[in-house]
Structure 1
Amino acid sequence: MDHRPQLSVKNGIADYIEWLSQYGASPEGGVTRLLYTKAWMDAQLAVKSEMSSLGFETSFDDVGNVYGKLSGSQSSADIIMTGSHIDTVVNGGKYDGAYGVLAGMLALKQLKDTYGTPKKTLEVVSLCEEEGSRFPLTYWGSGNVTGTFALGDAAEPSDGAGVSLQAAMLENGFGKGAYRPARRTDISAFIEIHIEQGLTLERSGADIGVVTSIAGQKRYLVTLEGECNHAGTTSMKWRKDPLVTSSRIIQELVMRAGRQPEELRLTCGKMNVEPNMPNVIPSRVQFSIDIRHQEQEVLKEFHDELVSVIRGISDEKGIRAVIDEYMSIEPVPMDQTLKAAALQTAAENRISCEEIVSGAGHDAQMIGRRFPACMLFVPSQGGISHSPREFTSAKQLDIGVRVLTDLLYKLAY
């Protein structure tokens, strides 16, 4: 299969978005590119091929991240990097992640054609994974770049079919030492441009969001165990109903979240009920809780409050509660110097911009723990994301590429 797109740079970012969306296109109109699947591998190879055609030095690392490099005239140990990820959720949108990779490619091409060799080495990266859609692990690509993860961490996580992350990685030729190690120590700045996936920019009318910080996250799986019984013969006052108890807990937590400083975000998005029959009082309920805020102290305090609410209501109803906190990611502020440079770049181009907190997690959050990082947003129509309806206009995509290009010029030339 020829992975090289039949496009030239003059076609612009919108056409590149359409091109990449063909890899993993779903019948419902979205895109499904799960880590280490054929659709994902085809897309990574296509991106690598196009990077080569644009004049970059290209390479894989040993987990499958793809790099395109413009070597600088000075030391190569001071690299300016841009990029994002190309994996998606199931039937997701065509812009999430992919825009940051393709915008970075076009920005480097324009800089190369206009100004020649940079002083500092520029790299664009297509990170292999961010979403966690196939395996119960997120940021596998950027986590290996920063040393947060290592190849040994791939042994345990498995997908819904029982295939381990390690087996899937090996099947695609990665994790065998055939490519250079993924961990990096030479990044002096990382810039990620992304669709906002929210309504802030659309409602304010700003063309660019400059991210001040990326919110931290905690995720929980709560299991409530009650007593299964007959719906018609068991008095209401004698019931130990975990579904009713979960409803009370969720309502109380949502109310308390809304009273937190700058509105802590709380979501209960998944629930399993056993035995899940209309005429049987449930015996067991499991539900997820996702909380997010840009201040770690707020997250810590709400964690204690969350545990207290779950324990208190469950004990009152005679329900056994088990709380499994399976994810805890601290908020990450973006680098102040890079943020100031991004704001200046937008101002010089007379592009309206707004400082914004990211409620969604991104690779810049993982990389920003170890290296200076900056994140830019372009508006999302209707705030819709992780959906085939995800959309950003060609004009707004182009504005983002322009700001990214000029910011990279400031940093590398």
Structure 2
Amino acid sequence: MNMPVHNVPAGVMLALLEELAAFSAPGPGVTRLLYTPEWYRAQQFLQERWAGLGLKVRTDEVGNVYGTLTGSKVTDKVILTGSHIDTVVNGGRYDGAYGVAAAAAALHYLQVTFGQPLRSLEVVSFCEEEGSRFPLTFWGSGNVTGLYNGSERGSFADVDGVTLGAAMAACGLGGIETSGVGDIAATEGGREFTSSPARRDITAYIELHIEQGIILERNSQEIGVVQAIAGQRRYIVKIGGTANHAGTTPMGLRRDALAGSAEMLLALERSAVAEGDPLVATTGRLEVHPGTPNVIPGEVQFTLDIRHSEAGNLERFCSGILEEFAGIAGRRGLDLEVLPLLATAPAPMDKGMCAALEQICEKQGKSYRSMVSGAGHDAQLFAPLCPAAMIFVPSRGGISHSPDEYSSPEELAAGLEVLTSILYELAYTEN
């Protein structure tokens, strides 16, 4: 494999990351929620900077921003790379933004060093992935891949009652309808808006991201080659008992909803540990009613978040643990209601691209490991549609979604070099 990419300068990437961090609402860390002034200015900034890097810039109707290097041989297909720029409240400066900044820096380096590619390369800054403002996720990539059809704009609102459509309109977005992929729909303020529902021109998607976990750091490894993004099951579990006086109700006559829930959650932890990696199971919220010190809890509600990279294993574990919950409830005389909230399938990454990434790491002398992503990413939406791959770099202490989120410049530069190399292989070589 011919691979002349080496010593990719990290200055453009690091500068973009620093500059993007300034687009934030007041408070600790970075807060950049979808369709807020901070978000709008950040996307505008990227358009200006990318144009200055020699990329052809455009924006689609939901606010995804693209920068393109048009290929000399194949111009109607693109190799897409990037990530998202929205954040959680009081998040860090690397989640999402790193993938956007690195992709732009990689395209700039490739153009300056090797000229026009054979196949078109495109960097994307997805408008949203986190679901921090509106109760839906992957709004940016979901509009590109056909997950959403536009009906969501009036159906979802933020905590202040502002609908998704109204927030889009406030940014001058969403009022455009076209029929063709890549057709220019309108020009406003010097920006091109295009509509690209369920794009069919993407031949590969590569996303560079911080790990948001501690595995790479703990093992002193530079690169994670993601083999799959875990599927998820989320539930709300409601346990019904009898609220009664804490001093006058004998222990043997109680229908204690909290005690039953505690037994269920211990069973969940025990079963998850026995199942082993990569399965994880979490209860992140538990509500107790009536919540009075001298009253036996009559009702408890808790959440379940269960993830695994293999669909069969995920289904088997969920069925097993819910059956165990039913047994505990029956033995204790409790009512049990389970409400499914989310069911996403595991998303395997492309085996050929994973193998290419491993070869690149070996040729560059970088330590790496194959791994599963427990967190969701835009790449999982592309996996069913085209070859998709993800590259991880270490996160200090495994911390993410926090002002303390950090990856060193050297770690970020290592990821940039691997990303640039795979883009070179895909866009500049005859294959």
- On whether the aligned pair clears a TM of 0.5, the verdict is yes
Please name the residue that 1:130 is paired with: 129
Instruction: Tell me how far apart the structure 2 counterparts of residues 350 and 85 of structure 1 sit (CA, whole Å).
Output: 29
Asked whether the equivalents of residues 30 and 93 of structure 2 are also in contact (C-alpha less than 8 Å), the reply is yes
Instruction: Tell me how far apart the structure 2 counterparts of residues 330 and 119 of structure 1 sit (CA, whole Å).
Output: 34
Please name the residue that 2:44 is paired with: 45
Please name the residue that 1:380 is paired with: 395
Q: Is 2:196 the partner of 1:182?
A: yes
Please name the residue that 2:61 is paired with: 62
2:310 counterpart letter in structure 1: E
Please name the residue that 1:197 is paired with: 212
Q: Identity, % of aligned pairs?
A: 48
Please name the residue that 2:417 is paired with: 402
Asked whether the equivalents of residues 101 and 126 of structure 1 are also in contact (C-alpha less than 8 Å), the reply is yes
Q: Aligned ranges for residues 305-316 of structure 1 at < 5 Å?
A: 305-316=320-331
Please name the residue that 2:249 is paired with: 234
Asked whether the equivalents of residues 227 and 372 of structure 2 are also in contact (C-alpha less than 8 Å), the reply is yes
1:208 counterpart letter in structure 2: I
Asked whether the equivalents of residues 257 and 263 of structure 1 are also in contact (C-alpha less than 8 Å), the reply is no
Instruction: Tell me how far apart the structure 2 counterparts of residues 207 and 187 of structure 1 sit (CA, whole Å).
Output: 29
Shift of the alpha carbon at 1:199? 1.6
- CA deviations on 1:216-275 (whole Å, 9 max, x unpaired) are 111111122322233333333332222222111111011111111534100101122233
1:21 counterpart letter in structure 2: A
Instruction: Tell me how far apart the structure 2 counterparts of residues 265 and 37 of structure 1 sit (CA, whole Å).
Output: 34
> Structure 1 residues 171, 368: closer, same or farther in 2, change over 3 A?
same
Instruction: Tell me how far apart the structure 1 counterparts of residues 261 and 172 of structure 2 sit (CA, whole Å).
Output: 45
Instruction: Tell me how far apart the structure 2 counterparts of residues 348 and 139 of structure 1 sit (CA, whole Å).
Output: 34
> Structure 1 residues 263, 209: closer, same or farther in 2, change over 3 A?
closer
Instruction: Tell me how far apart the structure 1 counterparts of residues 32 and 402 of structure 2 sit (CA, whole Å).
Output: 13
> Structure 1 residues 342, 244: closer, same or farther in 2, change over 3 A?
same
Q: Aligned ranges for residues 22-33 of structure 1 at < 5 Å?
A: 22-24=22-24, 26-28=26-28, 30-33=29-32
Please name the residue that 2:139 is paired with: 140
Asked whether the equivalents of residues 77 and 187 of structure 1 are also in contact (C-alpha less than 8 Å), the reply is no
- CA deviations on 1:15-51 (whole Å, 9 max, x unpaired) are 32222111115422x1112222222222222222211
- Please report the RMSD computed on the Cα atoms of aligned residues, expressed in angstroms: 1.8
Instruction: Tell me how far apart the structure 1 counterparts of residues 75 and 350 of structure 2 sit (CA, whole Å).
Output: 21
- Aligned partner of residue 356 in structure 2, secondary structure: helix
Shift of the alpha carbon at 1:376? 0.4
**Structure 1 unaligned spans of 5+:** 1-8
Please name the residue that 1:293 is paired with: 308
**Structure 2 unaligned spans of 5+:** 1-8, 177-185, 187-192
Q: Is 2:341 the partner of 1:342?
A: no
Instruction: Tell me how far apart the structure 2 counterparts of residues 371 and 188 of structure 1 sit (CA, whole Å).
Output: 6
Please name the residue that 1:15 is paired with: 15
Asked whether the equivalents of residues 220 and 326 of structure 1 are also in contact (C-alpha less than 8 Å), the reply is yes
Asked whether the equivalents of residues 70 and 118 of structure 1 are also in contact (C-alpha less than 8 Å), the reply is yes
- CA deviations on 1:150-176 (whole Å, 9 max, x unpaired) are 111333233223333233233322221
Instruction: Tell me how far apart the structure 2 counterparts of residues 42 and 225 of structure 1 sit (CA, whole Å).
Output: 49
Shift of the alpha carbon at 1:362? 0.8
Shift of the alpha carbon at 1:94? 1.0
1:22 counterpart letter in structure 2: A
Shift of the alpha carbon at 1:355? 1.4
The number of residues matched between the two structures is 404
- Aligned partner of residue 154 in structure 1, secondary structure: helix
Asked whether the equivalents of residues 71 and 116 of structure 2 are also in contact (C-alpha less than 8 Å), the reply is yes
- 160-169 vs 200-209, which deviates more? 160-169
> Structure 1 residues 326, 249: closer, same or farther in 2, change over 3 A?
same
Asked whether the equivalents of residues 278 and 309 of structure 2 are also in contact (C-alpha less than 8 Å), the reply is no
Instruction: Tell me how far apart the structure 1 counterparts of residues 238 and 33 of structure 2 sit (CA, whole Å).
Output: 28
List 4+ stretches of structure 1 deviating above 4 A.
none
- 234-243 vs 396-405, which deviates more? 234-243
Asked whether the equivalents of residues 72 and 119 of structure 1 are also in contact (C-alpha less than 8 Å), the reply is yes
Please name the residue that 1:4 is paired with: none
Instruction: Tell me how far apart the structure 1 counterparts of residues 279 and 399 of structure 2 sit (CA, whole Å).
Output: 20
Q: Is 2:264 the partner of 1:249?
A: yes
